[in-house]
Amino acid sequence: METNPVIINGGGIGGLTLALDLHRLGIECHVYEAVREIKPLGVGISILPHASKILSDLDVVSALLEKCLIATESVFYNRFGQFVYSEPIGAADGVAWPQLSIHRADIYDVLYAKANERLGADHIHLGHRLTRFEQDDDGVSAFYDITDASGSTSQAEIRGPIMIGSDGIHSVVRKQLNPNEGAPLYQGYNMFRGITYAKPYLSGSSMLRIGWYTSGKLTIYPCRQANAEGLQAMNWIAAVESDKHLERDWGRPGKLEDFIDVFADWKFDFLDVPKIFEDADTLLEYPMVDQEPLEKWTEGRVTLLGDAAHPMVPRGSNGAGQAIVDCRMLAETLANNNDWVAALNIYEADRRPKTTAVVYKNRANPPDAVLREVFLRTKDRPFERLEDVITKEELDALTNSYKETAGYSRQTLM
């Protein structure tokens, strides 16, 4: 087994989770992150049960539970406020691991703190922006531009036995491995994402989806525990059809006037949607894009992980989850193989087909496909009786199919 530290390029959720899992298995690694200063960026995310199982093994879930909520149900309505479907999720569905609704900044804070505590602060390097890498029979050389606390810059060559590209949607590692890859594929919808502090709705721990993309689609769920005023941080995503989009950037500010008119009459007895948008503390815009799955992630001693490997349309609440599952497979494969070059290929052979299936599933039949079916069968009109439109068995089949593809069906996790 190799003894030099593994290079992890990218210190996001995937990179830090991998570092913790490698540490658990006795494999030394160093994490190199491009940003110099960690800021509380982003909005909410869901950690599905297959991923929370791994985080539980890493002994970080108790710290996450101090900040997040345990989601108990997934609920669907059409845009007229008519109930379509609901199902228990995570621990409420009888599996051993919960589905967590959490602010991205909160899970990052926990992972970053645990990585510093367990690996040591000298193993987590901020302000290291990868410019390129080279490899030979003995290892990988990663070349970094480094920015220190004063703003001064320098360059360094970091040497390791293997390098993992966990550097996200703008991955430098992916680009070097695939210099002729095409542009991201736009799916025809822009997302506006925000955080609004508001009173709890429905169960107080519901993941709620309303409408369908052609006439406006909303996903909303609380991602932090209620504050002293009894208000929850509501993470919401409003998707609208558009023939125009900007380059993908998770931190791009959005404009209320670009989408609120679509939802002007969405005022239900359980939720005033326009007010949720108007009261937002944070408002971001992101195009619904993915990339065609790669035919290969690994070249010699370098491979990809998470969004760098399989960027997907954010429709299944599963991007972070698939990255975390990548981490477990990669860490255990390295621990169980003396030949780490071979181990990278074993990891890819397992994870690439599975994540490719999720990428395609997110395009065609994510969990909210139940709303698409109602939308199409009613021609976007109110219905008198849901059972005349679609059966519960059909609805169950749609959601269960996604869980099976993504790896968190109840049968898989029991």
| pTM summary value | 0.95
Instruction: Judge contact between 238 and 211, C-beta under 8 A.
Output: no
Number of domains the chain is built from: 1
Q: Can you tell me which residue has the tokens 């992972």?
A: 111
User: How far apart are alpha carbons 73 and 380 in whole angstroms?
Assistant: 25
**Which residue range(s) make up the domain with 158?**
6-68+99-183+292-363
Is 309 domain-assigned?
A: yes
Is 385 domain-assigned?
A: no
What mean pLDDT is predicted for residues 109-114?
A: 96
Q: Can you read off the two tokens belonging to residue 286?
A: 């992101």
What mean pLDDT is predicted for residues 314-336?
A: 94
Residue 169 has pLDDT above 70, yes or no: yes
The domain spanning residue 113 has which CATH number? Answer: 3.50.50.60
Dmax (CA) for the chain in angstroms is: 69
Is 88 domain-assigned?
A: no
Query: In this predicted model, what pLDDT tens digit does every residue of 230-286 receive, in sequence order?
Result: 999 999 999 999 887 778 777 789 999 999 999 999 999 999 999 999 999 989 999
Is 118 domain-assigned?
A: yes
More confident residue, 65 or 410: 65
Would you place residue 414 in the very low, low, confident or very high pLDDT band (cuts 50, 70, 90)? low
More confident residue, 276 or 149: 276
H or E stretch including 356?
A: helix 340-364
The residues that bridge with 31 in the sheet, in sequence order, are: 8, 124
Is 330 domain-assigned?
A: yes
Q: Is the dihedral of CA 85, 91, 96, 99 positive or negative?
A: positive
Is 255 domain-assigned?
A: no
What mean pLDDT is predicted for residues 174-179?
A: 97
Is 119 domain-assigned?
A: yes
What mean pLDDT is predicted for residues 69-98?
A: 95
Is 19 domain-assigned?
A: yes
The pLDDT, as a whole number, for residue 251 is 79
More confident residue, 107 or 249: 107
